[in-house]
């Protein structure tokens, strides 16, 4: 029996639930940077072959001036304004539910949701995220871009794992029930 591909949100958040400052800055993530510590990211990324992200997240990744980190993956950027492809991604302006269904019908590894909050809201509102892996950074931003925007959808979760690290980062993993 083949395993169904899972849609996994793997993301960092402040303790008070923000993924970025109001201006989109994520410099505060550096409070947990330690040489040789990636909090399981490399192991996780080996389990995926497809990445979905919002256009603002994509623009933020490009602003770092480094090589695009998902060059060896199939990448979709959800965008209302851009279409077609560039050297890294396919821009997708259709119904994200349809995209997820198409991807789940193909063989492959898991599907990584790499932000941002609008994509998370859309997927969560249709209960399309199978697992949530959230790394809580020991900082309270007070305001910013919320990880979970309001939706009408209530989703019950089951704890898969929780880990704490010397840096104060706490990573929790849930699956939808």
Over the chain, what is the mean pLDDT? 95
- Residue showing tokens 């997708």: 92
- Residue showing tokens 């793997």: 10
Instruction: Spell out the residues 6+ positions from residue 19 whose beta carbon is closer than 8 angstroms to its own.
Output: 11, 12, 13, 26, 115, 116, 117, 144, 145, 146, 147
Q: Mean pLDDT across the stretch 28-52?
A: 97
Residues 120-141: tens digit of each pLDDT: 999 999 999 999 999 999 999 9
Task: Give the integer Cα–Cα distance in Å for 143 and 103.
Answer: 34
> Is the pLDDT reported for residue 87 higher than 70?
yes
Share of the chain above pLDDT 90, in %: 93
Task: Give the integer Cα–Cα distance in Å for 110 and 25.
Answer: 28
Domains and CATH numbers, the chain: 7-176 (3.40.430.10)
> Is the pLDDT reported for residue 36 higher than 50?
yes
Task: Give the integer Cα–Cα distance in Å for 38 and 177.
Answer: 28
Torsion, Cα of 134, 137, 139, 141 (10° steps): -50
Sorting pLDDT into bands at 50, 70 and 90, what band is 4?
confident
> Is the pLDDT reported for residue 78 higher than 90?
yes
Instruction: Give the pLDDT score at 2.
Output: 55
Pairing label, strands 18-20, 48-54: unpaired
Share of the chain above pLDDT 70, in %: 98
If phi > 0 it is left, if psi is from -120 to 50 it is alpha, else beta; for residue 28 that is alpha
> Is the pLDDT reported for residue 1 higher than 50?
no
């Amino acid at each position: 029996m083949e395993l169904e591909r899972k849609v996994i949100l793997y993301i960092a958040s402040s303790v008070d639930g923000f993924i970025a400052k109001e201006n989109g800055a994520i410099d505060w993530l550096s409070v947990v940077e330690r040489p040789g510590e990636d909090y399981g990211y490399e192991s996780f990324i080996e389990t995926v072959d497809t990445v979905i992200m919002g256009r603002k997240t994509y623009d933020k990744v490009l602003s770092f001036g480094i090589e695009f980190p998902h060059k060896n993956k199939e990448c979709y950027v959800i965008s209302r304004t851009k279409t077609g492809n560039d050297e890294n991604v396919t821009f997708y302006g259709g119904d994200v539910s349809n995209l997820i269904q198409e991807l789940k019908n193909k063989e492959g590894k898991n599907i990584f949701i790499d932000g941002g909050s609008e994509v998370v809201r859309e997927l969560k509102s249709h209960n399309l995220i199978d697992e949530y892996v959230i790394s809580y950074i020991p900082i309270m931003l007070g305001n910013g871009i919320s990880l979970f925007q309001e939706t009408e959808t209530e989703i019950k979760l089951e704890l898969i794992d929780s880990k704490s690290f010397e840096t104060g980062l706490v990573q929790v993993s849930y699956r939808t029930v």
